[in-house]
Amino acid sequence: MIPVNIAIADRTYRVKVSPEDESTVRNTVKIINDKITEYKTHFPGKDMQDYISMVLVWFATESKNKNVSLNDEKHLLEKLDQIEKLVDGSLK
């Protein structure tokens, strides 16, 4: 496992990931931040937690719409759960 600093919604988190997952995590974080920016543009005035929730719903439905294999979906859900725990922990 290697430590990786990621930034989601203007917050920085230090997470440990396997070296082979680093690229996937960084790409996922980029997608998350891009979607947050998109939702902030389309739905101004919302709370950051609202934008993060919208992105989580988008990710969940996107995987269903693209017929992602069960292994890929499980991996994505694990990553989303990990990110959600990080966000929840920082909000406390």
pLDDT band at residue 67 using 50, 70 and 90 as cut-offs: low
What gap in Å lies between CA 9 and CA 37, rounded to an integer? 9
Determine the pLDDT at residue 26: 94
Instruction: State the pTM of this model.
Output: 0.69
Checking if the pLDDT of 57 tops 60, the result is yes
Neighbours of 18 (CB within 10 A): 10
Domain range list for the chain: 2-91
**One-letter identity of residue 30:** K
**Helix, coil or strand: residue 16:** strand
**Strand, helix or coil at 4?**
strand
- What confidence tier does 74 reach under pLDDT thresholds 50, 70, 90? confident
